[in-house]
Amino acid sequence: MDPSVMAVPGYFATMGAEYAYLKRRAARHGPARTDYEPRDTVTSLAMGVGNLLAPIVMGKLLAPITPTVGRYGKVLVGAAAASVAVTTAADLVARASAPSVADPEPSVGRRRRRLRDKLRNRPRLRRAAERTAAVGGVASVATAGVAVTSLWAHLTAPQRLWERRVLPDLGTGPAAFAAAMVGWDFIYYWNHRFMHECRALWAIHVVHHSSERYNLSTALRQPVADAFGVFVPSGLLCLLGIRPSLVVQARGWNLIYQYWIHTDAIRRLGPAEEVLNTPSLHRVHHGSNPQYLDRNHGGILIVWDRLFGTHEPEDEPVVYGLTKNIDTFNPVRVATHEHRAMIADVAGAQTWGDRVSYVLRGPGWAPDTAGARPVSQVA
């Protein structure tokens, strides 16, 4: 069994102890953003339950439409292709029917020029084409996204890669377990970092950063839409001879470790912070302060952040939450708000370059700031 599930009673016990400690501290020093707030805590717990149930539900829903293996996989791919074709045609009509200021393509053929002149300066046609492109663009991104993510999950499943391993079975001894733990933590670092640097992945992960408070209950505020992400597969470890059961164990113990660092009750841990992720370093990760954005992505080990330039110590007081908070405790809105914003941006885009960029580039990307550094934690 996944050890992170077996630890559920411990989660509630430690949250109770932390609540009592923070209540006494608030009585002495006043309230803080690390205290428990009933609505916020309930939302976090609801998201935790959703995280446990979502893989079961999503697995059953996506299996029939997964390309190459699902009964309706070809239908999904065909729908994506048709949406792309319709959207591309609508883009061409929208541009051709726009008012003419100067001829941007003087070298086009005579027949194309006549067609363009016939369509030009027709506002009703242009509006219809833009509406078609808006709907088609969203449909294209959604269907293609589901096709790609479901196929990727199938191709990189741990058991599938285990059967194709390139190194011999390492067994279940201490060395194999240590390799699984370190390997999982390394893969986790990159997936976590990508979730802050790619908007489609950030739309999944933003759930965990949506609380403006920080305590042990925040650790349970987990995504419910992992099925719609393309991640560095943990199954890569299986290719190297680590058994799938050990991968599950490594994931579980990694999650358990990360649970306890979501607290303000523990301040600094001295030399341990040179190697390990700690409450202080993870508070930084949850900060919306400019200097704290996209920092300290490690799970258990902070050495990955030190090696790859994303380490930041806790210095100024942490402001928790997003750079643009969503001001809601509704679990459905918490889970979907960034997907809805991304869909709105895709619908408003007028080129494929912008549509793709809104999905794959950083959460802060916009056409007029395409050259800027992506700014994470944008609601």
The DSSP line for 132-172 is HHHHHHHHHHHHHHHHHHHHHHHHT-HHHHHTT-SS----S
| Low pLDDT (below 70) residues in the chain | 100-119, 121, 369-379
Q: What local confidence, expressed as pLDDT, does residue 109 receive?
A: 64
Give yes or no for a contact between 15 and 189, defined as CB atoms under 8 angstroms apart.
no
Statement to judge: residues 280 and 349 lie in one domain: yes
- Please indicate, yes or no, if residue 379 is contained in any of the structural domains: no
What is the count of structural domains for the chain?
Answer: 2
- Host domain of residue 357: 3-62+158-369
The predicted pLDDT at position 118 comes to 65
How many Å apart are CA 180 and CA 108, to the nearest integer? 59
- Please report whether residue 376 resides in a domain: no
- Residues 127 and 99 grouped into a single domain: yes
Boundary (domain end) residue, out of 107, 128, 155: 155
Same domain? For 72 and 54 the reply is no
Same domain, 210 and 95: no
* pLDDT score, position 376: 43
In contact, 256 and 3? CB cutoff 8 Å: yes
Cα Rg of the chain (Å, integer) = 24
Same domain assignment for residues 187 and 245: yes
Say if 377 falls within a structural domain. no
Query: Which residue type, as a one-letter code, is found at position 46?
Result: A
The reported pLDDT for the residue numbered 373 is 41
What secondary structure letter does DSSP report for 372? Answer: S
Q: Which of 137, 155, 173 is where one domain is finished?
A: 155
Q: CA 368 to CA 376: how far, in whole Å?
A: 17
**Same domain for 265 and 171?**
yes
Q: Is residue 375 part of a domain?
A: no
Q: Does 117 map to a domain?
A: yes
Please list the helix, strand and coil fractions of the chain in percent, rounded to the nearest 5, in that order: 65, 0, 35
Exposure b/e, 103-125, CB count within 10 A at least 16 = b? eeeeeeeeeeeeebeebeebeeb
Last residue of a domain, one of 155, 188, 206: 155
